[in-house]
Chains A and B, each alone.
Chain A
Amino acid sequence: MLNIGKLTRAMSLLALTCSAQVIAEASPPVPSSPREIIVASCSGCHAQNGEGRWFRISDQRKTPEAWQMTLVRMELVHQAKFVDPAGGDSQAALRTLVKYFADTQGLAPAESAPYRYILEQELNTIEQHDTEQFRTMCARCHTGARVALQRRTEDEWRNLVHFHLGQFPTTEYQMMGRDRDWLGLALNEVVPYLNEHFPLQTDAWQQWQSASRHNFEASWRVVGSMPGRGAFSGTMVTAAKGDDHYSVAFNGQFEDGETLEGSGSAVVYTGYEWRASLKLGDTRYRQVLASTSDGGELTGRMFQREHSEWGLRMQAVRDTGQSSVLAVQPGHLRTGSEGSLRIVGTNLKGDVNLGPGLKVLETVSRDKDQVLVRFRAEATAAAGARAIKVGAVELADAITVFGKIDRLAVEPAYAVGRVGGNEGSQPAVQAIFEAIAWGAGDDGQAGTADDLRIGPVTAQWSVAPYTEQAVQDQDLRFAGQMEKDSGVFTPAAAGPNPERKYQTNNAGNLKVIATIEQDGKPMQGDGHLMVTVQRWNNPPIR
């Protein structure tokens, strides 16, 4: 675990590992305070600037991941050492600093909310940028989210521009650099823009600092779904270990019965940023979740450490003894059909009521956290999203009733896969697609604004060349394999391929096609897949 590269280590340090805990328990240190560590580690270069303030350090706020990246840069580029004057080890000192900075110079929940996809490693998100200038100046090497997840004074935004060009002098020579006065624009237009949109002082942060903090020791009901695997439900039990650290026991299953079970540990940063590191079966996972302001729910994504493309979008709801309905699986059903539904919640009591036109035929099984029923939907049942009830408790928009599927979409509409796996380099990055069914909505026209999203359906998958160039270059043959039943595409091996023209690598430009059959007729939807080269640098914030 400690032998992996430093940048990967940057990710793993955000949540304590099991082995680190054991060491900590074996020799209880008397750790220094964060400020003592800063004085010992940083003040040689960053002079003190008032009580508990240091030049460069104190005029910016950012996420725990971003603090981690900055501190790792201090170590790699400037040879800073993380020194605990009380003699604790340097990795513990680094963790202490990340925690301290994230707590005291973090982001308010409202500030991080629009950009959580990047923390959650939803890497196929297509970003929408405020201005074309922001996109070309600041979101061409990394995401715009990396920028928008920081708050700084104007001076600190300016320092950041100087850092960029000083550290990466080719910035102003590259495409979208050499076509403009990059430095002039960055200093005179972008810095004021950033200062206006992402200033150090905000009301949101002011309020969040005085908001009450929660104890996250609880029993949690988990619901979610993992593209490529399906719906999931489970439980998570957490126990406080002090200082916002928790142990985590996780247990649950996919709709096909396969289980995901194991344990790990978590840290809560900034009062709401939940980061856990878990070992489930043989696979290491991370949770990047955010708490609601009442501390009652954690939502976000749990993904594989080595394959972040595999992730569970999840919601963990604190079990307070109250009854609640959290999800219905599957989330849609067709009029005139019969089938079964799993209703997931906490402390479920009373009858299941699916609303007019949907009849519960039989309760197959039930316990306090879930009910399995068989239903029949009348042909005349009203289409649309509807609430369901268990006893007196209701869940709005719990299930979507549809007459027929009018169009099929592929999600993500655009995805990137990466070749890999040759000579133990970077593993290939798979691309995982879902087929999403849509109804035409009230206007009877598919493809219009009032279309009804029905939800993910099982499909057959194939790929085709996206362009004429892809035909000529035989991308279909070289780029990798699509799993016919699951929508999972596995890119081919990395490195130059002597069989290909110009000995290029196994990149490819492919159309992804999902096919379903409805009433004996096929229906297709398609998406776009770019298979490209490895990324060597995979920091926690892309």
Chain B
Amino acid sequence: MYKVNSVYTNAGVACRAAMFGLLATVAISGCAEKENPVQAADESATPGDFLVVVNRPNTLHLVDLKQRKVANSCQLPGDFGPATVAMSPDNRVAYVLTNRFENIYGVDVDTCEIRFSARQSQGDERVKSIGSIAVSPDGREVYTHQNPTRLLIDRYEVQPTRIAVFDTAGGLDAKPVRTFVAPRQISIMATGADGTLYLGGRDIYAMNVQTGETRIALASQSVGDPLESPRDSLTVWPIGGVNHEMVRMYSAARFKDASQDMETADYVWGFERIDLATGVAEAKVFGPLEVVLFSGMARPSDPNQFYAALTQLKKFDVASQQELQSVDLEHSYYCVNFSTDGSEVYLAGTFNDIAIYDADSLEKLGNIELPGGDMALANTQVFSRAL
């Protein structure tokens, strides 16, 4: 176990880490060994909501939402991307999928200590994971969906995709303890309270992580509704944490009748969600498709209100499928999230600022600027800490 640098305050620790030689990729210039290591941040100084997100170059930030400031920043090894984050159940360790979609790092968000790491590519097999990482409800296992390719000497050979199960106590060079063949094209994952792993792909699948047995938990593309075009779901943002749900949006055309006439069809936005406490799956249209939106979720305090964003932040009334309100954003934001009480909306992704909006009025409350570069496709995780 060792610490990597907390980028802005803690060069000494980084020097030490680099000298221990555990990770050659820690990039830090000007190591001054005589400098005393400074602890990055008091452990969870304030009670209240926190947000975790990763931006370029490859830095994890713990943001104190009440104080509206970055409480701690941890430089992660390797290159950026996609920077998908899943939290341990105690919200102390962030598991980040990064280094060009290949490595997993479990980072203590308060101390920047790297508690876990796994290099998924091994031997002649290159493994990429697209946004799909989840932690078991007991915090003992971390799951990724793997897209392996064998890089043979004169050709590539794409391998079946699979779920890899890692033991979070597996150390800094963890290897999967189990793997199971899984559907392709999985882009987000979440775990249910009973340990079921949900895989968001062409449908949403549920996998028993002991046996690998997989079933369809929510039929999306395979739903076969004669009054609906095939659904399209674009997401690499696991964001349902504050609602204890897995959620993603889809777009589709709703036909007037079985003739499936595109001319008279209504274009709609819907959401698909799995209640992670009960496993209940639900798909619902929540509004008209008028502009492109990237991510969205229900308001924690009122599941009938659904919020989604890209160039605008929009609020929908799910029951009536009506847009209630819409505001133009200063630039596009890919990733929506909420305070745990549902009073504030946090917009992230794209550039390097988090925009805060009042969930009632959609009035802008402020920005939190992250040191460093853009967040690109990174998701945010929000959680609260009591003292």
Do the beta carbons of B155 and A178 come within 8 Å of each other?
no
Give chain B residues whose Cβ lies under 8 Å from the Cβ of A166. Answer: 126, 149, 151, 156-158
Do the beta carbons of B329 and A502 come within 8 Å of each other?
yes
Do the beta carbons of A47 and B154 come within 8 Å of each other?
yes
Do the beta carbons of B155 and A56 come within 8 Å of each other?
yes
Decide yes or no whether B321 CB sits under 8 A from chain A. Answer: no
Give chain A residues whose Cβ lies under 8 Å from the Cβ of B185. Answer: 172-173, 177-178, 182
Encoded as 1 (CB less than 8 Å from any A CB) or 0, chain B from 224 to 242 comes to 0000001011100000000
Do the beta carbons of B232 and A179 come within 8 Å of each other?
yes
Give chain A residues whose Cβ lies under 8 Å from the Cβ of B149. Answer: 162, 165-166, 169
Do the beta carbons of B329 and A163 come within 8 Å of each other?
no
Q: How far is the CA of A181 from the CA of B149 in the complex (A)?
A: 17
Decide yes or no whether A170 CB sits under 8 A from chain B. Answer: yes
Give chain B residues whose Cβ lies under 8 Å from the Cβ of A183. Answer: 158, 184
Q: How far is the CA of A170 from the CA of B156 in the complex (A)?
A: 16
Decide yes or no whether A337 CB sits under 8 A from chain B. Answer: no
Decide yes or no whether A45 CB sits under 8 A from chain B. Answer: yes
Do the beta carbons of B130 and A173 come within 8 Å of each other?
yes
Q: How far is the CA of A33 from the CA of B78 in the complex (A)?
A: 43
Instruction: Give, as a whole number of angstroms, the nearest-CB distance from A188 to chain B.
Output: 14
Instruction: Give, as a whole number of angstroms, the nearest-CB distance from A372 to chain B.
Output: 57
Give chain A residues whose Cβ lies under 8 Å from the Cβ of B154. Answer: 45-47, 55-56
CB within 8 Å for A502 and B156 given contacts A173-B130, A178-B185, A178-B232: no
Decide yes or no whether A501 CB sits under 8 A from chain B. Answer: yes
Decide yes or no whether A503 CB sits under 8 A from chain B. Answer: yes
Instruction: Give, as a whole number of angstroms, the nearest-CB distance from B103 to chain A.
Output: 15
* Chain B count of residues within 8 A CB distance of the other chain: 29
Instruction: Give, as a whole number of angstroms, the nearest-CB distance from A438 to chain B.
Output: 31
Closest to B201 in A: A178
Closest to B312 in A: A502
Give chain B residues whose Cβ lies under 8 Å from the Cβ of A173. Answer: 130, 185, 187
Instruction: Give, as a whole number of angstroms, the nearest-CB distance from B291 to chain A.
Output: 10
User: What is the predominant secondary structure among interface residues of chain B facing chain A?
Assistant: loop
Do the beta carbons of A175 and B232 come within 8 Å of each other?
yes
Closest to A46 in B: B154
Most buried by B among A55, A162, A169: A169
Q: How far is the CA of A173 from the CA of B234 in the complex (A)?
A: 8
CB within 8 Å for A503 and B232 given contacts A55-B154, A169-B130: no
Instruction: Give, as a whole number of angstroms, the nearest-CB distance from B365 to chain A.
Output: 19
Decide yes or no whether B263 CB sits under 8 A from chain A. Answer: no
Q: Which of B140-163 contact A (CB under 8 A)?
A: 147, 149, 151, 153-158
Decide yes or no whether B202 CB sits under 8 A from chain A. Answer: yes
Do the beta carbons of B158 and A503 come within 8 Å of each other?
no
Decide yes or no whether A159 CB sits under 8 A from chain B. Answer: yes
Give chain A residues whose Cβ lies under 8 Å from the Cβ of B157. Answer: 162, 166
Decide yes or no whether B311 CB sits under 8 A from chain A. Answer: yes
Decide yes or no whether B332 CB sits under 8 A from chain A. Answer: yes
Decide yes or no whether B328 CB sits under 8 A from chain A. Answer: yes
Spell out B's residues near A (CB within 8 Å).
Answer: 101, 126, 128, 130, 147, 149, 151, 153-158, 184-185, 187, 201-202, 221, 230, 232-234, 311, 328-332
Going nearest first, the 7 A-B pairs with the smallest beta carbon separation are A166-B156, A166-B149, A169-B128, A162-B156, A165-B158, A169-B147, A502-B311
Instruction: Other than A169-B101, A178-B232, give 8 A-B pairs with Cβ distance below 8 A.
Output: A56-B155, A169-B149, A179-B202, A182-B184, A182-B185, A183-B158, A502-B330, A502-B331
22 A-B contact pairs sorted by A residue (CB < 8 Å)? A45-B154, A55-B154, A56-B154, A159-B155, A159-B156, A162-B155, A162-B156, A163-B156, A165-B149, A166-B126, A166-B157, A169-B101, A169-B149, A172-B184, A178-B187, A178-B202, A179-B202, A179-B221, A179-B230, A502-B311, A502-B331, A503-B330
